[in-house]
Chain A
Amino acid sequence: MKLDGLAIVLVAVALVAATALLLAFLWDRTGVVLRSTVVAGCALALLVAAALQLNRMTEAYPSWSALAGTKADLPGEPPDPQPSSPVHPVALAQTSRIEQVTVAGPASGVSLPMYVYLPAGYDQAKIARYPVIEALHGFPGSPHTWIRRLRIQTYLDAEINAGRMAPTVVLLPYQTTKQLLDTECTDLTRGPKSETYLTVDVPAYARAHFRVRTDRAGWGLIGYSAGAYCAANLVLKHPDKYAAAASLSGEGVPGIKVGDGSEKTTNNDDWRLTHLPPPAVSLYLAWAADDSTSRRESLRLAGLARPPLEVTTAVVARGGHSDAAWQAMEPPAFDWLSAHLARPL
Chain B
Amino acid sequence: MSLTGVPLILLAVLATVAAGFVTVWCWSRFGRQRMLVRTVGVLLSEALLVLSAGLIANRVDQFYPSWAALAGHTGAAATTVSRAAGRLDRTLHAGGAEIVPWQPSGATSWHLIGHASLVVPAGYASRRTTTFPVVLDLAGPHSAGDTVTVHLSPSAKTTAAALASLPAYLDRDVRVTTRGWAIVASMKDAVFAAELVKSAPGRFVALVLVGEGRPRPCGIAMAVVRRRAAGVPLPPGTTVLTGSGAQAWTVATDWAAGQTSPPLAASVQLPAEGVPSHRQATS
Query: In the bound complex, how far is the Cα of B76 from the Cα of A325, in angstroms?
Result: 8
- What would 13 A/B residue contacts be, using CB atoms closer than 8 Å? A46-B49, A163-B130, A282-B202, A295-B273, A310-B202, A311-B283, A318-B73, A318-B74, A319-B74, A319-B75, A339-B261, A340-B261, A342-B205
> B202 touching A328 by the CB < 8 A rule?
no
> CB < 8 Å: which of B27, B77, B283 contacts A27?
B27
Query: Which residues does chain A contribute within 8 Å of B129, judged by CB atoms?
Result: 163
Interface 1/0s, chain A 191-222, versus B by CB < 8 A? 00000000000000000000000010100000
Query: In the bound complex, how far is the Cα of B46 from the Cα of A159, in angstroms?
Result: 44
> CB < 8 Å: which of A163, A303, A324 contacts B281?
A303
> B258 touching A343 by the CB < 8 A rule?
yes
> B65 touching A291 by the CB < 8 A rule?
yes
Across the interface, name the chain A residue whose C-beta is closest to B257: A343
> A23 touching B279 by the CB < 8 A rule?
no
Q: Is residue A99 contacting chain B, with contact meaning CB distance below 8 A?
A: no
> B46 touching A42 by the CB < 8 A rule?
yes
Q: Pick from B31-39, B113-121, B160-168 the stretch touching chain A.
A: B31-39
Taking Cβ atoms with an 8 Å cutoff, the residues of A that contact B are 16-17, 20-21, 23-25, 27, 42, 46, 50, 131, 159, 162-166, 215, 217, 240, 280, 282, 286, 288-293, 295, 299, 302-325, 327-329, 331-332, 335-336, 338-345
Closest 9 CB pairs of A and B: A303-B279, A317-B75, A24-B38, A335-B267, A166-B262, A343-B262, A328-B76, A314-B270, A163-B265
A-B contact count (CB 8 A): 207
> CB < 8 Å: which of A20, A217, A312, A317 contacts B205?
A217
Residue from A20, A288, A343 having most chain B Cβ neighbours under 10 A: A343
Query: Which residues does chain B contribute within 8 Å of A280, judged by CB atoms?
Result: 219-220
> B46 touching A320 by the CB < 8 A rule?
no
Q: Pick from B56-64, B84-92, B96-104, B185-193 the stretch touching chain A.
A: B56-64
Across the interface, name the chain A residue whose C-beta is closest to B263: A343
Query: Which residues does chain A contribute within 8 Å of B264, judged by CB atoms?
Result: 163-166, 335, 338-339
Q: Is residue B6 contacting chain A, with contact meaning CB distance below 8 A?
A: no
Query: In the bound complex, how far is the Cα of B63 from the Cα of A8, in angstroms?
Result: 24
Q: Is residue B156 contacting chain A, with contact meaning CB distance below 8 A?
A: no
Q: What distance in Å separates the Cβ of B64 from its nearest Cβ neighbour in chain A? A: 5
> A46 touching B46 by the CB < 8 A rule?
yes
Across the interface, name the chain B residue whose C-beta is closest to A280: B219
Query: A312 and B64 in contact (CB under 8 A), knowing A163-B264, A302-B281, A339-B267?
Result: no
Q: How large is the interface on B (under 10, 10 to 19, 20 to 34, 35 or more residues)?
A: 35 or more
Interface 1/0s, chain B 63-84, versus A by CB < 8 A? 1111011001111111010000
Query: A288 and B69 in contact (CB under 8 A), knowing A215-B221, A304-B279, A342-B258?
Result: yes
Query: A331 and B261 in contact (CB under 8 A), knowing A299-B275, A312-B272, A320-B64?
Result: no
> B74 touching A317 by the CB < 8 A rule?
yes
> B64 touching A332 by the CB < 8 A rule?
no
Q: What distance in Å separates the Cβ of A155 from its nearest Cβ neighbour in chain B? A: 10
Query: In the bound complex, how far is the Cα of B65 from the Cα of A293, in angstroms?
Result: 11
> CB < 8 Å: which of A16, A164, A299, A314 contacts B43?
A16
Across the interface, name the chain B residue whose C-beta is closest to A308: B201
Query: Which residues does chain B contribute within 8 Å of A164, judged by CB atoms?
Result: 80, 264-268
> B50 touching A314 by the CB < 8 A rule?
no
Query: A27 and B62 in contact (CB under 8 A), knowing A336-B267, A342-B260?
Result: no
Q: Is residue B211 contacting chain A, with contact meaning CB distance below 8 A?
A: no
> B42 touching A24 by the CB < 8 A rule?
yes
> B282 touching A310 by the CB < 8 A rule?
yes
Query: Which residues does chain B contribute within 8 Å of A42, judged by CB atoms?
Result: 42, 46
Q: What distance in Å separates the Cβ of B270 from its nearest Cβ neighbour in chain A? A: 4
Query: Which residues does chain B contribute within 8 Å of A162, judged by CB atoms?
Result: 265
Query: A321 and B273 in contact (CB under 8 A), knowing A163-B264, A308-B219, A345-B258?
Result: no
Query: In the bound complex, how far is the Cα of B144 from the Cα of A343, in angstroms?
Result: 13
Query: Which residues does chain B contribute within 8 Å of A159, judged by CB atoms?
Result: 268
> B50 touching A50 by the CB < 8 A rule?
yes
Q: Is residue B259 contacting chain A, with contact meaning CB distance below 8 A?
A: yes
Q: What distance in Å separates the Cβ of A140 from its nearest Cβ neighbour in chain B? A: 12
Q: A320-B63, A324-B73 are in contact. List 5 more A-B contacts (CB 8 A).
A: A20-B43, A24-B36, A131-B262, A290-B69, A303-B279
